[in-house]
Structure 1
């Protein structure tokens, strides 16, 4: 019989402690990530009619329908337009606010709180309020009338609806990226700026040659989070435009919801979920692999 003290070594104790610490996260990932992914793949190979109480295996029929669906190119186009607009304006505005609030000026704490406060506000409440403000007789057009501008019906025109949805989402989450950029900016050594000033470098040169390279890991993080989040937007579309006018704001997640929960095509909805997963995964991997080209100190 083996000696218990010989088997129960310090190395084994360390391994068991490590497994105990990662077990909750591992169990959560299995139950709430990998199991749902497996079920979505399984459902995408079936046609599930809840009303008729039928569940039939159809193989690749849902994927053939995906390739032949005339609405899919329009939906992907709207999704790409929304994602690009959100990512560009969100990151640009967050960077600008972070740079401004990083200055040693009076009242910066108040403005930091003001810009971050929408992040903690309920998403649905935030969207409903903006829905009232963006109506033809809402607060936005009333503000424009004070300067002699006749505002459009923002949520009933294709371009206006997309701009409105992007704007609402930008102002909702820009504070989060702002705080991340601000934390990164405060970690940049001041000696680098002092040396650059002594060499005659201007403000833009210091920003491009010192600030951006030093905070590039944070830029990578925020870009991955923002791109992934932009592809999963739902509540804003559902509350503000319901995908309209026409399909101008019908992004992929909302189209998935329509197919699965409005038209009860659960198999096809699962297939659209697989498409969304592939797109998010591909873009995340692409950004991660490109980090070697523009992230500072990445080999």
Structure 2
């Protein structure tokens, strides 16, 4: 009788547990798994969004990618954008977290200023910076440079400056979130280990590279993975600030997917692009995850 009661109670707990996670699972299936499956399916079709036609074409879209010069250009631009955003974001967010975690003067003010862009709308952020970086002396940035006797470039409409301008504004937009994550890790570092290193004579740089950085490496790995994924799927900043220009110098892969799907209405080709981007991000994430034990302080 007691065993039957326990089984009934266990069954009831199981049903309650499934009831709690059912909405989340339903949302995951409807809004993640099904769209992901549809992208893979559409990538093997000649599908036109404008005319509503759909013909199975196998791997023809992927073959066309290899012959498309804009695909190669968008891939290179995406890698350049990520190579600029990720190191800058990691370095500055870690340095700011170490400063703020030290409890020095003005930390509350600095924390507020750093985190303010995170809660600001991405659309508003991009529009404001597009105004600030206007060419000539119309934009406040060039107006200030003109006061110093420096002729500022047309930041968003010159090939040599557009990508760098977008990278810097993107770094400033997302810096606060990584600072917050790193601050949690900094504040949870074992104080006795750091104090023992100081007593043994470890100076500032030795203390950072030999003690603090190894302790922070699990957090660095997690933040780097999230930042890489975010940089590979950037869209709003590119769309609103440069629209992929000038001459395609800021056309990243996500923007090229949008261009093919909603301007050229070639949904099949756009889906093939999305599959390639998904595989690239998956490969980069897997490489980082598999290599975590070699560069992480923790073995598990």
The answer to whether the aligner puts 1:183 opposite 2:200 as a matched pair is: no
For residue 199 of structure 2, what is the aligned residue in structure 1? 198
Instruction: State how far apart, in whole Å, the 1-side matches of 2:267 and 2:73 are.
Output: 21
Q: TM-score, normalised on structure 2?
A: 0.94
The answer to whether the aligner puts 1:266 opposite 2:262 as a matched pair is: no
Which sections of structure 2, spanning at least 5 residues, go unmatched?
Answer: none
SS in 2 for 1:150: coil
For residue 52 of structure 2, what is the aligned residue in structure 1? 53
Shift in CA distance, 3/98, structure 1 to aligned 2, threshold 3 Å: closer
Contact 2:46–2:55 (CA<8 Å) still a contact in 1?
A: yes
SS in 1 for 2:47: strand
Considering only aligned residues, what root-mean-square deviation do their CA atoms show, in Å?
1.8
Which sections of structure 1, spanning at least 5 residues, go unmatched?
Answer: none
Deviations 1:17-55 (A, max 9, x none): 433333232222211111101111111111222333322
Instruction: State how far apart, in whole Å, the 2-side matches of 1:188 and 1:3 are.
Output: 48
Q: TM-score, normalised on structure 1?
A: 0.95
For residue 153 of structure 2, what is the aligned residue in structure 1? 152
Instruction: State how far apart, in whole Å, the 1-side matches of 2:77 and 2:131 are.
Output: 23
Instruction: State how far apart, in whole Å, the 2-side matches of 1:276 and 1:215 are.
Output: 29
- Tell which deviates more after alignment, 116-125 or 65-74: 65-74
Instruction: State how far apart, in whole Å, the 2-side matches of 1:164 and 1:114 are.
Output: 20
For residue 217 of structure 2, what is the aligned residue in structure 1? 216
Instruction: State how far apart, in whole Å, the 1-side matches of 2:150 and 2:91 are.
Output: 27
Deviations 1:155-185 (A, max 9, x none): 1111200001001100000000011111110
SS in 2 for 1:48: strand
Structure 1 position 16, deviation (Å): 3.1
Contact 2:218–2:298 (CA<8 Å) still a contact in 1?
A: no
Deviations 1:51-97 (A, max 9, x none): 33322222221111112112222111110000010001111111111
For residue 98 of structure 1, what is the aligned residue in structure 2? 97
Structure 1 position 295, deviation (Å): 1.7
For residue 122 of structure 1, what is the aligned residue in structure 2? 121
